[in-house]
Amino acid sequence: MATPHIAAAPGDFAKTVLMPGDPLRAKMIAERYFDDARQVTDVRNMLGFTGTYKGTPISAMGSGMGVPSIQIYASELFDSYGVERIMRVGSCGAIQPDLPIRTLIIANGAGTDSNVNRVRASGHDYGATADFALLRAAVEAAEAASIKAVVGRIFTSDYFYHPNDDENEKLARAGFLAVEMEAAALYGVAIERKKAALTLATVSDQLITGEAMTVQERQDTLDQMIRVALDAAATFE
């Protein structure tokens, strides 16, 4: 049955969903990498697609930007469409100087300035972590493809334009590798449902040096990240 934000039929989604922020990127992933891709939802233009990869059923759907948006879509996919695992495939801004643009980060955990996980934990620190089996599958897929990946904690911010100038330095001192805007919420939604989630994020902006990716670099690194996510997904039924 359709949910408020997804107009798909039961069985339209595979058990594994790749979630880029941009719905047109979900379309590109389906067209370029899936066999037998078909569109399964278009509510608010948040496009979703299902097909197969190396014979394994797989879906891709946009998450939109930020905590509330991914929280809505991930909740509905898990609760109403039989989805078991969601892999966010996104970009991030690195706040450690030794992480150049193009670096693939696999987020084993995510802190946040959002209140959602604190609410989940009755006001306490939540400890939002990735699913270990997904994390291991992604690390192994990267190793098998000789793609260097860095595993560590990232920070999910409600701000793209933060009001405090020194925020990134403080977060860097706290040991976070990079900032993005969705991972911690995705992890919270998955953990409270005993489902699996992981975030792969390519460094698109080096926030210490100001280095940013060209259009071609964005495409090349996206390809690497999608391959890692798909090869990891193909190890699950």
The HSE-up count of residue 151 (CA atoms within 13 Å, CB side) is 14
**From residue 76, how far is each of 5, 22, 62, 113, 205 by CA, in Å?**
8, 18, 13, 23, 31
Q: How many residues bind ligand HPA (CB under 6 A)?
A: 11
Question: Binding pattern to ligand HPA, positions 119-148, x when CB under 6 A?
Answer: ------------------------------
- List all residues 6 or more positions away from 64 whose beta carbon is below 8 Å from its beta carbon: 21, 23, 46, 70, 73
Q: Which of 179, 184, 185, 198 touches ligand HPA (CB under 6 A)?
A: 179
**201 and 70 Cβ atoms separated by less than 8 Å:** no
Closest CA to 17 of 41, 48, 39: 48
Query: Is residue 180 at the binding interface for ligand HPA, with CB under 6 A as the rule?
Result: yes
- Shortest reach from residue 101's CB to ligand HPA, in Å: 10
**From residue 69, how far is each of 81, 114, 120, 164 by CA, in Å?**
17, 13, 17, 24
Q: Which residue is nearest to ligand HPA (CB)?
A: 93
**152 and 177 Cβ atoms separated by less than 8 Å:** yes
Query: Is residue 160 at the binding interface for ligand HPA, with CB under 6 A as the rule?
Result: yes
CA distance 77 to 15: 9
In the set 205, 220, 223, 231, the catalytic residue is: 205
- Shortest reach from residue 181's CB to ligand HPA, in Å: 5
- Shortest reach from residue 178's CB to ligand HPA, in Å: 8
Question: Binding pattern to ligand HPA, positions 34-73, x when CB under 6 A?
Answer: ----------------------------------------
Q: Is 205 a catalytic residue?
A: yes
In the complex with ligand HPA, which residue's Cβ is closer, 20 or 51?
Answer: 20
- Shortest reach from residue 159's CB to ligand HPA, in Å: 8
Amino acid in position 165 = D
CA distance 31 to 47: 12
Query: Is residue 207 at the binding interface for ligand HPA, with CB under 6 A as the rule?
Result: yes
SS3 107: strand
Please identify, among the stretches 25-33, 48-56, 69-77, 89-97, the one whose residues bind ligand HPA according to the rule CB under 6 A. 89-97
Q: Which of 16, 204, 221, 224 touches ligand HPA (CB under 6 A)?
A: 204
| Phi, psi at 149, each rounded to 5° | -130, 145
Which residues belong to the active site?
A: 205
Residues near ligand HPA (CB under 6 A) are: 91-93, 157, 160, 179-181, 204-205, 207
